[in-house]
Amino acid sequence: MTYRYRWAIMLVLAVDTATPAVTAGLVELTHAPHADREPAPQARTLASRVTVDARAHNEVLTPQILDCFETARVARADLDAVVVGIGPGPFTGLRVGMATAAAFGDALGLPVYGVCSLDAIAVDAWRDVRPATTGDSAPEATELLVVTDARRREVYWARYRSGGVRVGGPEVCRPGDLDPGSATAIAGSASHVDFFDLPVLPVETPSPAGLVRCAATQLLDRATPEPLTPLYLRRPDAVERNYQAVR
């Protein structure tokens, strides 16, 4: 029997600015093949920093990253890759995170992998789901709805099954126009999950480990990353006016 991966340990910088939370972290991704099965890769957070401020992305992200290096006692030269949330999210904040991740990748000659920020929330939330037969207090879920703040009284959303596999979205709409369908649990923005009559899983924003888990296959394959393309889902709030001469 052959396995897709050999023993691997990777140090990954993960950042996300798709929500009001400015998130940065260093994650150790480990894969250790077993003799008779293929275990899931393990993501261990070495250091993380989160600042909840929708207007502070540009000011705090890089200092948070540098603080993570100091806390974890690792050097930038030890990094193997960078993972960044590509949204959906508001134009300005999302652009800061993606530009910062790209800059670190370019400066250190590292691949930069983009992942849907909603996917990272879903991956973490599914880890809190337990079958009802275990007697755990966590809700049983066959389909998960994830929502985040899109401003303008709207939400970004996506649906997931089977441990975090996306089956719908991402899209943007007003909460009242979003049909939860067959969702049996919800995760995401604390200000918006209560719009829906569903059990709430306590995951509000992407975590560094969740971001890395979403990109684990690409990371371990050392695949060539796709170009970073932000998921805005709509035009930015501020647009350049097209001035024309009035005759």
pLDDT tens digits along 56-101: 888 999 999 999 999 999 999 999 999 999 999 998 899 999 999 9
Inform me whether the pLDDT recorded for 48 exceeds 70: yes
Q: How far apart are CA 45 and CA 91, in angstroms?
A: 28
Alpha carbon 6 to chain centroid, angstroms: 26
Q: Is 244 exposed, middle or buried (0-12, 13-18, 19+ CB in 10 A)?
A: exposed
Q: How far apart are CA 185 and CA 139, in angstroms?
A: 7
DSSP 175: G
List Cβ neighbours of 188 (8 Å cut-off, separation of 6 or more): 118, 121, 145, 146, 147, 148, 155, 203, 204
pLDDT at residue 137 in the model = 59
Q: How far apart are CA 247 and CA 244, in angstroms?
A: 9
Q: To 10 degrees, what angle do helices 91-108 and 57-72 make?
A: 40
Q: How far apart are CA 86 and CA 229, in angstroms?
A: 7
Same fold, 8-117+206-221 and 119-195: yes
Distances, alpha carbon 209 to alpha carbons 120, 135, 246, in Å: 8, 27, 55
Which superfamily does CATH assign the domain made up of 8-117+206-221 to?
A: ATPase, nucleotide binding domain (3.30.420.40)
pLDDT at residue 55 in the model = 86
Handedness of CA 138, 166, 84, 27 (dihedral sign): positive
Confidence of residue 6 (pLDDT cuts 50, 70, 90): low
pLDDT at residue 245 in the model = 43
What percent of the chain is modeled with pLDDT above 90?
72
Is domain 119-195 in CATH 3.30.420.200, yes or no?
yes
Domain locations in the chain? Answer: 8-117+206-221, 119-195
Q: Is 46 helix (H, G, I), strand (E, B) or coil?
A: strand
Neighbours of 130 (CB within 10 A): 14
75, two tokens:
């050097």
To which residue do tokens 């441990």 refer? 163
The 10s digit of each residue's pLDDT in 101-157 is 999 999 999 999 999 999 999 999 988 765 443 455 566 668 999 999 999 899 999
> Please, what is the end-to-end C-alpha distance for the chain in angstroms?
77
Q: What is the enclosing helix (H) or strand (E) of 44?
A: strand 42-52
